[in-house]
Amino acid sequence: MKEKLFRFIKRYRLFLILLVINLIVLLAFPKTGNRSFQLTYQNLLDMLSVMPPIFILLGLLDVWVKRETMIKYMGEHSGILGVLLAFFLGSAAAGPLYAAFPVALVLLKKGSKFSNVIIMMGAWSTTKLPLLLFEASAMGYRFMLLRFVLDIFGIAAIAFATEKLLSKKEKEEIFKNAATLD
DSSP result, the chain? -HHHHHHHHHHTHHHHHHHHHHHHHHHH-HHHHHHHHHHHHHHHHHHHHHHHHHHHHHHHHHHHS-HHHHHHHHSTT-HHHHHHHHHHHHHH--S-GGGHHHHHHHHHHTT--HHHHHHHHHHHHH--HHHHHHHHHHH-HHHHHHHHHHHHHHHHHHHHHHHHHS-HHHHHHHHHHHHH--
The residue among 129 and 150 whose pLDDT is bigger is 150
Binned at pLDDT 50, 70 and 90, residue 61 comes out as: confident
The whole-number pLDDT of residue 180 equals: 86
Digit-coded pLDDT (tens) for 132-164: 889 999 999 999 999 999 999 999 999 999 999
pLDDT above 70 coverage of the chain, percent = 99
Instruction: Look up the pTM and report it.
Output: 0.77
